[in-house]
């Protein structure tokens, strides 16, 4: 690396620091010096675009794109410069969009044309009167046709008159009483029980203990028991036959219900084992993906979505080591002051990782060069890394 390139790199670093401090004139001087020493680098032209006028910004970024057409920072800078170029200065000193001027000019031309156009001729009312007479005649014809149809059709007449068909009303007849012979129903099929002798003994048939049913469980037939009265009521009476019925009791043994063994589907699943590393811990920062990866050897332990530096104040690239860790501190600069920033780890000068509570737009470059993480992710990374942990930053 020659001396001019080394001096250009130092001038670029000084320009970035001046830009972060809000000193635009100093940043322009350092960027011009770097562009003179090393015009083949894109960083001086991007810094000049950040502090130049809209039209000059487009020219500087086009120079950077010629050097590196695939540069994501140059493309984002071109979008920013084109948005600025879309505003044109007005006579009053403010800025009026070009689209608004075009609309105002079109409106003035339209008013001028309206003033110069000849007055329109009024339409003659004769044609309107003829149309009104025709409509009136047509209405009279429709009314006459409806009247004639109503005279010939009673149904249509009732509809036109708004009368619906009358519902027949119930006629009340006087109540007439007469003596009527009603046939009595035949005697019920349930006969009266025959008298039971006093010396009647019930015949209860039960299976002996040695008998085992082969097809169906044993049944027991119960007959009426003897009482001291001359007549006794049977225990069961059939209404379909003329003889007393008998009650059959069926003894069914209890059937045991099998208890299913508990399945393993409802058992709680064991949590997945955490990854086990196989080497030294190191941190990867992918600026293109806006993600941070925590590695142990070649085993990925965790990853987070982050927000790194914008194209004007980018995050430095290269291989570094964590040189300072701070639990909480206040960060301030030109235009901002952020108290109680948690879980801070510096890896190069004032570039570092830290938790972020002032925005939730992770995945988009938002910072002045630091790596913004959510507070839970920054706490995990702070406790996982240590002094001297390697940090690799790349696109």
Residue 318: its H or E element: strand 318-321
SS3 annotation, 179-228: CCCCCCCCCCCCCCCCCCCCCCCCCCECCCCCCCCCCCCCEEEECCCCCC
Q: What integer pLDDT is reported at residue 293 of this predicted model?
A: 98
pLDDT single digits (tens) 313-347:
999 999 999 999 999 999 988 888 899 999 999 99
Q: What integer pLDDT is reported at residue 93 of this predicted model?
A: 42
pTM: 0.42
Averaged pLDDT score across all residues of the chain: 73
| Percent of the chain at pLDDT exceeding 90 | 28
Q: Pick the residue with more confidence: 386 or 54? A: 386
Three-state SS at 332: strand
Fold of the 281-394 domain? L,D-transpeptidase catalytic domain-like (2.40.440)
Average pLDDT of the residues in 24-29:
88
pLDDT single digits (tens) 79-91:
888 888 875 444 3
Average pLDDT of the residues in 42-55:
87
| pLDDT higher than threshold 90 for residue 232 | no
Query: Which phi and psi (to 5°) does residue 329 adopt?
Result: -160, 170
**What is the token pair recorded at 388?**
């001297």
Spell out the domain ranges in the chain: 3-89, 281-394
Q: Pick the residue with more confidence: 54 or 281? A: 281
pLDDT single digits (tens) 143-166:
777 666 655 555 555 554 554 444
**In terms of Cα–Cα distance, which of 381, 213, 367, 389 is closest to 292?**
381
| pLDDT higher than threshold 90 for residue 382 | yes
- Each as own residue / partner, the long-range contacts of residues 84-90 (CB below 8 Å, 24 or more positions apart, any chain) are 84/54, 84/57, 85/54, 85/55, 85/57, 85/58, 87/54
Q: How confident is the model at residue 187 (pLDDT cuts 50, 70, 90)?
A: low
Is residue 352 within 8 A of residue 346, CB to CB? The reply is yes
Q: Which residues pair with 88 in a beta bridge?
A: 96
Q: What integer pLDDT is reported at residue 235 of this predicted model?
A: 43
CA atoms within 13 A on the CB side of 49: 29
The superfamily CATH assigns to domain 3-89 is Tetratricopeptide repeat domain (1.25.40.10)
Q: What integer pLDDT is reported at residue 49 of this predicted model?
A: 86
Q: Pick the residue with more confidence: 181 or 8? A: 8
């Amino acid at each position: 690396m020659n001396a001019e390139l080394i001096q250009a790199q130092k001038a670029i670093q000084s320009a970035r620091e001046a830009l972060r401090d809000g000193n635009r004139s100093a940043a322009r001087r350092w960027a011009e010096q770097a562009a003179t020493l090393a015009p083949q680098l894109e960083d001086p032209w991007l810094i000049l675009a950040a502090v130049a006028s809209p039209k000059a910004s487009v020219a500087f970024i086009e120079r950077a794109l010629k050097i590196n057409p695939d540069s994501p920072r140059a493309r984002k800078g071109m979008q920013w410069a084109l948005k600025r170029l879309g505003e044109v200065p007005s006579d009053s000193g403010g800025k009026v969009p070009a689209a608004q001027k075009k609309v105002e000019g079109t409106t003035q031309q339209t008013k001028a044309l309206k003033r110069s156009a000849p007055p329109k001729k009024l339409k003659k009312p004769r044609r309107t009167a003829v149309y009104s007479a025709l409509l009136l005649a047509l209405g009279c014809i429709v009314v006459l046709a409806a009247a004639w149809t109503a005279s010939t059709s009673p149904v249509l007449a009732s509809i036109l008159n708004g009368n619906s068909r009358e519902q027949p009303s119930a006629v009340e007849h006087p109540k007439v009483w007469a003596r009527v012979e009603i046939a009595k129903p035949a005697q019920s099929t349930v006969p009266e029980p025959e008298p039971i002798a006093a010396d009647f003994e019930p015949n209860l048939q039960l299976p002996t203990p040695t008998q085992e049913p082969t097809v169906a469980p044993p049944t027991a037939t119960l007959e009426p028991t003897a009482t001291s009265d001359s007549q006794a009521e049977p225990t069961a009476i059939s209404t379909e036959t003329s003889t007393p019925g008998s009650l059959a009791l069926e003894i069914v043994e209890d059937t045991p219900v099998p208890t299913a063994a508990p399945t393993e589907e409802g058992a709680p699943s064991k949590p997945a084992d955490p990854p086990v590393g196989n080497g030294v811990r190191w941190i990867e920062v992918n600026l293109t993906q806006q993600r941070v990866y925590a590695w142990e050897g070649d085993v990925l332990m965790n990853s987070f979505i982050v927000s790194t530096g914008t194209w004007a104040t980018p995050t430095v690239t290269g291989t570094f080591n964590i040189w300072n860790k701070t639990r909480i501190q206040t960060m301030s600069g030109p235009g901002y002051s952020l108290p109680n920033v948690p879980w801070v780890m510096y890896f190069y000068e004032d570039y570092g990782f830290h938790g972020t509570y002032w925005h939730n737009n992770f995945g988009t470059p938002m910072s002045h060069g630091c790596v913004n993480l959510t507070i839970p992710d920054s706490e995990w990374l702070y406790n996982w890394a240590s002094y001297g942990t390697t940090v690799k930053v790349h696109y």
